[in-house]
Amino acid sequence: MTLKKLINKEFFISNRKTLICFIVGLLGILLIFASEAVKTDTTDKKEVDTDTLSYTDELEEKLENLISSVEGAGKTNVLLTLEETEEYVFAQDTSSSIKQDSQNNTQKEYVIVDDGKGKGGLLIKTVKPKVRGVAIVCEGGDDPLVQQRIYSCVSASLGISTARISISKMTSLEVNNEK
């Protein structure tokens, strides 16, 4: 078959199956291009990273204020590490049935809602990431009594063990630079 013959109207009219396949193929190609052109409304990794960074910064600032108010701690710098990023928990509709052979069959489906921006899952809660460890540098970091106070304070406020907390004395250069 030559290209002239394929383009010829009479060929398509006489071969309806070929015409239908050709149209379906063109529609398929158009749908593929259209689906890539439409931007879906998903949370970008950059947005999640920004949320996690702001959460970390907020926690570090609160810890710095808390620790610097401990007697003998003085000026304080805090570095916090987190285990993961935020976790989103969505509502699920659960249905279970018992079959004749005594097997329990459970099905879970996410609850979908339309919030005006489009359809999406019903968000129940957002779980903030857990703290992996804390590094603290403060002026009174070499005093065992001050260290014990800080260990107790940070462990209680973050709910982590003292093994995940490191306390060090601030160098004299850093103290002089800040004054």
pLDDT value for 76? 94
Token pair 């808390």 in the structure block, residue: 66
**Strand 87-90, strand 123-127: pairing:** antiparallel
Give CA–CA dist 81/79, Å, rounded. 7
pLDDT, tens digit (0-9, with 9 covering 90-100), for 57-93: 999 999 999 999 999 999 999 999 998 878 888 888 8
Q: Report the predicted TM-score, pTM, of the whole model to 2 decimal places.
A: 0.58
Give CA–CA dist 13/145, Å, rounded. 94
pLDDT, tens digit (0-9, with 9 covering 90-100), for 129-141: 899 999 999 999 9
Give CA–CA dist 22/89, Å, rounded. 45
CATH code for residues 42-86+128-179: 3.30.300.30
pLDDT, tens digit (0-9, with 9 covering 90-100), for 84-126: 878 888 888 887 777 666 677 777 888 888 877 778 888 889 8
Q: Which residues of 47-62 are buried (b: 16+ CB within 10 A; e: fewer)?
A: eeeebbeebbeebeee
Token pair 């009479």 in the structure block, residue: 10
- Output 15 or 61, whichever has higher pLDDT: 61
